[in-house]
């Protein structure tokens, strides 16, 4: 199998604080890969490095073999990697429709066009409609995104993330703060949208992780201590000591 | 067919109104006022491409307006002297090119950052251009500026653009064209990404767009339209002066956009009309009209942050149900407004009287005790008598308390209208 995202001895320091301490990871194309670890392990920082939000202090990031270290977020996004955020990051005063449409535009090649009537772009309209159906929000298309319920905003966050048709998707705690039934819906949605794509997901809910992931990486204090299939991760002695044991104290 | 009428109908109506206005407002002064309004409408809308659409607060938008005015004056002189067949109506193209050129040059520098950094850079660039206007005399013409004679250009159909009415139609044409174009731009991929950058520029980067480049294009286009406005201003008064690029001009356009409301496309149009009217008419009533202008601005910021257009749009929710019920609903609401307006006006009159008397005593005490309130000789007030001071204070305070007393009436009327509108359905 080809590699979708490959990290080579990645490091990130903020001043003297080392957050990511030499992470190497190879996420295969088409797999659903979960990153777990205790709070403060550096999971979100890892996503910020992969998606170009932060510059790594050392090491390199490869996207399908291409070195993308140091590229800006929009350049990485255009290469087919899209991410969501742990804290909902949408366009609050734009309608749900506009939110999704903004995320569709670039992938349809309209770039910075200021001579085309946006409402007449049939391919953009169709794709926006498709995404809204997928996240089940067709009936709320005209509502400003900022007034949606929390769970709906999380769904919209995923909608924006997948709208551009990226084939590598990073989801940062998509079910955080959700009720049981909301989580179930979110997992069903994630399963659906990650069909045929590469998914990297940060998640605290172990039920979700073991349900969804093909492989799991455990990040503890900026280092990956194990990467393996769910059953083997569960049985891994090091993981139990470092992570599952620590979680037991919560 | 009906959708065509819906799309273009409003522009056709606007064009007809612009054609008819000179016959409706036929006094010579109104023609001048309407010319200034048209120019300010373009300028304020171009400013709102930055502030309202893209969320960029500029303190130096007059740079593109002013530089285009100077290039326009030079172009007119050059075309007239060399006898090139360039008719006056095409001259604003030179202004547009100038605005676009400087928008690209200065935009490349200033749009690297958004937010406060952008605002500060815009201020710096404005100061830079204004101070060079005092140094580069051959281009800016020093204190007297560059004058031009619009009648000396190549004539088409015998129009020499001497009479103001001909200039009015020239300005009206360009105003309508620019308004349509700027409106159209809001409905393009770039226009929507401008809104996205305004809302959340970080997220924009993660949907494939470079927010810096979005800002840059918006800034360049805003420069282009500001250039048209500046060019028309130079044509209108046949002069370009250093004040055109100055902080005052940059401030006025900010005021116009804000007073009209930056959240709606039509806001800056309203703002431009009101600000132009006020800046012309207020000076007929008071020497210190700029003070009232400032008070109006503060009032809008505090109590109507979405501007005049925001206040109007708040009423759109009442426009429901059959026509009769709409009219009845608005009638009741209007009644409540009138009840509130009476004490508010008394309060305002008291405040203005006091301000004017203080100004008179402080600045013109030597001219005698008598003051012409609102510059009307039939409203002569003796500032040394106690009566007007006491009267002013009573009007101010009594007006204020009576005004406060009416707020529940307005709130109640508002609430009832809302319930009524909801009951009527869509």
CATH number for position B226 = 1.10.3470
Q: Is the pLDDT of residue A250 over 50?
A: no
The pLDDT value recorded for residue A231 is 93
Q: Are residues B129 and B214 in the same domain?
A: yes
Query: For A162-208, what is each residue's pLDDT tens digit?
Result: 999 999 999 999 999 899 999 999 999 999 999 999 999 999 999 99
Does the distance separating the beta carbons of A82 and B188 come in below 8 Å?
A: no
Tell me, what CATH number does A244's domain have?
A: 3.40.50.300
Q: What is the token pair recorded at A76?
A: 């990485």
Does the distance separating the beta carbons of A73 and B189 come in below 8 Å?
A: no
Q: How far apart are CA A106 and CA A112, in angstroms?
A: 9
Closest CA to B54 of B211, B202, B178: B211
Work out the minimum CA distance from A196 to partner chain B, whole angstroms.
Answer: 20
**A204, exposed or middle or buried, with CB in 10 Å at 0-12, 13-18, 19+?**
middle
Answer yes or no: is A242 within a domain.
Answer: yes
Q: Are residues B111 and B254 in the same domain?
A: yes
Whether chain A has a CB inside 8 Å of the CB on B293: the answer is no
A73: chain B residues, CB-CB within 8 Å: 205-206
Q: Are residues B274 and B323 in the same domain?
A: no
The pLDDT value recorded for residue A122 is 97
Overall domain count for chain A: 1
The pLDDT value recorded for residue B317 is 85
Whether chain A has a CB inside 8 Å of the CB on B217: the answer is yes
**A59, exposed or middle or buried, with CB in 10 Å at 0-12, 13-18, 19+?**
middle
Q: How far apart are CA B277 and CA A60, in angstroms?
A: 62
Tell me the three state secondary structure of residue B20.
Answer: helix
C-alpha dist (Å) from residue B368 to B364, B365, B385: 7, 6, 12
The predicted model gives A84-103 an average pLDDT of 96
Q: How far apart are CA B72 and CA B235, in angstroms?
A: 8
Q: What is the token pair recorded at A229?
A: 């299939």
The pLDDT value recorded for residue B54 is 97
Whether chain A has a CB inside 8 Å of the CB on B192: the answer is yes
**B384, exposed or middle or buried, with CB in 10 Å at 0-12, 13-18, 19+?**
exposed
The pLDDT value recorded for residue A249 is 44
Q: Domain boundary at B290, B312, B334, which?
A: B312
Query: For A101-160, what is each residue's pLDDT tens digit?
Result: 999 999 999 999 999 999 999 999 999 999 999 999 999 999 999 999 999 999 999 999
Could you list the residue range(s) of the whole structural domain that residue B113 is in?
2-312
pLDDT band at residue A248 using 50, 70 and 90 as cut-offs: very low
Longest distance between any two alpha carbons in chain A, whole Å: 61
DSSP assigned state of B54: I
Q: Is the pLDDT of residue A247 over 60?
A: no
Tell me the three state secondary structure of residue A112.
Answer: coil
Q: Which residues pair with B381 in a beta bridge?
A: B371
Residue B283 makes CB contacts below 8 A (sequence gap 6+) with: B289
Q: Are residues B260 and B352 in the same domain?
A: no
What ipTM score was computed for the predicted complex, to two decimals? 0.94
The pLDDT value recorded for residue B119 is 96
Residues in chain A, overall count:
250
Residue ranges of chain B whose pLDDT lies below 70: 1-3, 425-426
Could you list the residue range(s) of the whole structural domain that residue A55 is in?
1-73+200-250
With CA atoms as reference, the chain A residue closest to B212 would be A74
DSSP string, A149-196: -HHHHHHHHHHHHHHT--SEEEEESTTTT--HHHHHHHHHHHHHHTTT
Q: Are residues B290 and B392 in the same domain?
A: no
Q: What is the token pair recorded at A205?
A: 């809910």
Q: Are residues B218 and B367 in the same domain?
A: no
The pLDDT value recorded for residue B1 is 52
Q: How far apart are CA B240 and CA B41, in angstroms?
A: 19
Answer yes or no: is A119 within a domain.
Answer: no
**B304, exposed or middle or buried, with CB in 10 Å at 0-12, 13-18, 19+?**
middle
Q: How far apart are CA A91 and CA A102, in angstroms?
A: 9
**CB-CB contact of B275 with B256 (8 Å):** yes
Q: Domain boundary at B312, B327, B351, which?
A: B312
**CB-CB contact of B267 with B44 (8 Å):** no
Q: Are residues B232 and B123 in the same domain?
A: yes
**CB-CB contact of B213 with B37 (8 Å):** no
Tell me which H or E stretch contains A22.
strand A17-28
Answer yes or no: is A127 within a domain.
Answer: no
Q: Are residues B341 and B275 in the same domain?
A: no
Answer yes or no: is A62 within a domain.
Answer: yes
Whether chain A has a CB inside 8 Å of the CB on B131: the answer is no
Query: For B369-401, what is each residue's pLDDT tens digit?
Result: 889 999 888 999 898 999 999 999 999 999 999
Beta pairing, strands A215-220 & A32-36: parallel
Q: Are residues B187 and B295 in the same domain?
A: yes
**CB-CB contact of A22 with A10 (8 Å):** yes
Number of other residues whose CB lies within 10 A of the CB of residue B276: 22
Does the distance separating the beta carbons of A121 and B214 come in below 8 Å?
A: no
The pLDDT value recorded for residue A241 is 83
The predicted model scores a pTM of 0.94
Q: How far apart are CA A53 and CA B215, in angstroms?
A: 19
Q: Are residues B247 and B334 in the same domain?
A: no
The pLDDT value recorded for residue A245 is 59
Q: Domain boundary at B312, B334, B363, which?
A: B312
With CA atoms as reference, the chain B residue closest to A77 would be B208
Overall domain count for chain B: 2
């Amino acid at each position: 199998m080809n590699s979708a995202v490959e990290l080579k001895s990645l490091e990130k320091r903020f001043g003297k604080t080392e957050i990511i301490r030499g992470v190497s990871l190879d996420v295969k194309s088409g797999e659903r890969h979960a990153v777990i670890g205790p709070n403060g392990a550096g999971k979100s920082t890892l996503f910020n490095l992969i998606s170009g939000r932060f510059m790594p202090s050392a090491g390199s990031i490869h996207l399908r073999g291409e070195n993308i270290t140091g590229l800006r977020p929009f350049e990485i996004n255009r290469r087919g990697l899209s991410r969501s955020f742990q804290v909902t990051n949408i366009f609050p005063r734009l309608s749900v429709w506009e939110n999704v449409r903004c995320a569709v535009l670039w992938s349809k090649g309209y770039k910075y066009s200021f001579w085309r009537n946006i409402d007449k772009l049939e391919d953009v309209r169709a794709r926006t409609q498709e995404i809204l159906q997928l996240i089940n929000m067709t009936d709320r298309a005209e509502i400003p995104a900022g007034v949606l319920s929390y769970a709906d905003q999380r769904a919209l966050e995923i909608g924006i993330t997948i709208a551009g048709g990226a084939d590598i998707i990073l989801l940062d705690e998509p079910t955080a703060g959700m009720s049981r039934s909301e989580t179930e819906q979110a997992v069903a949605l994630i399963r659906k949208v990650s069909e045929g794509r590469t998914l990297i997901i940060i998640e605290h809910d172990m039920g979700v992780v073991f349900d969804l992931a093909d492989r799991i990486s455990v990040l503890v204090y900026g280092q990956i201590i194990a990467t393996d299939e769910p059953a083997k991760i569960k049985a891994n002695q090091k993981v139990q000591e470092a992570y599952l044991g620590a979680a037991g104290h919560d | 067919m009906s959708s065509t009428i819906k799309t273009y109908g409003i522009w056709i109506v606007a064009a007809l109104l612009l054609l008819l206005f000179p016959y409706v407002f036929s006094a010579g002064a109104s023609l001048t006022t309407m010319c200034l309004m048209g120019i300010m409408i373009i300028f304020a809308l171009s400013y709102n491409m930055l502030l309202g659409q893209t969320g960029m607060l500029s303190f130096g938008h007059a740079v593109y307006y002013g530089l285009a005015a100077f290039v326009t004056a030079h172009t007119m002189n050059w075309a007239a002297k060399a006898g090139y067949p360039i008719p006056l109506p095409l001259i604003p193209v030179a202004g547009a090119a100038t605005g676009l050129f400087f928008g690209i040059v200065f935009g490349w520098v200033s749009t690297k950052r958004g937010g406060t950094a952008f605002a500060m850079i815009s201020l710096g660039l404005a100061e830079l251009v204004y101070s060079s206007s005092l140094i580069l005399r051959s281009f800016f013409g020093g204190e007297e500026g560059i004058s031009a004679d619009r009648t000396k250009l190549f004539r088409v159909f015998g129009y020499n653009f001497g009479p103001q009415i001909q200039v009015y139609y020239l300005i009206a044409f360009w105003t309508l064209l620019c308004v349509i174009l700027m409106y159209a731009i809001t409905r393009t991929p770039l226009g929507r990404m401008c809104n996205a950058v305004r809302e959340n520029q970080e997220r924009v980067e993660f949907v494939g767009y470079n927010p810096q480049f979005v800002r840059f294009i918006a800034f360049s286009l805003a420069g282009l339209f500001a250039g048209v406005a500046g060019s028309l201003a130079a044509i209108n008064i046949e002069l370009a002066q250093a004040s055109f690029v100055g902080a005052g001009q940059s401030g006025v356009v900010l005021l116009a956009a804000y007073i009209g409301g930056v959240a709606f496309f039509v806001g800056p149009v309203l703002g431009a009309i009101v600000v132009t009217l006020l800046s012309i008419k207020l000076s007929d009533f008071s020497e210190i009209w700029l003070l009232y202008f400032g008070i109006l601005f503060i009032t809008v910021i505090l109590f109507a942050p979405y501007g005049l257009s925001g206040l109007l749009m708040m009423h759109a929710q009442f426009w429901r149900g059959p026509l009769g019920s709409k009219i009845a609903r608005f009638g009741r609401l209007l009644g409540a407004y009138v009840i509130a307006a009476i004490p508010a006006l008394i309060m305002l009159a008291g405040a203005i009287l006091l301000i004017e008397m203080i100004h008179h005593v402080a600045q013109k005490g030597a001219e005698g005790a008598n003051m012409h309130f609102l510059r009307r000789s039939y409203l002569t007030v003796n500032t040394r008598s106690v009566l007007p001071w006491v009267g002013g204070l009573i009007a101010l305070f009594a007006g204020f308390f009576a005004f406060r007393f009416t707020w529940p009436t307005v709130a109640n009327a508002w609430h009832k209208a809302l319930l009524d509108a909801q009951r009527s359905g869509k």
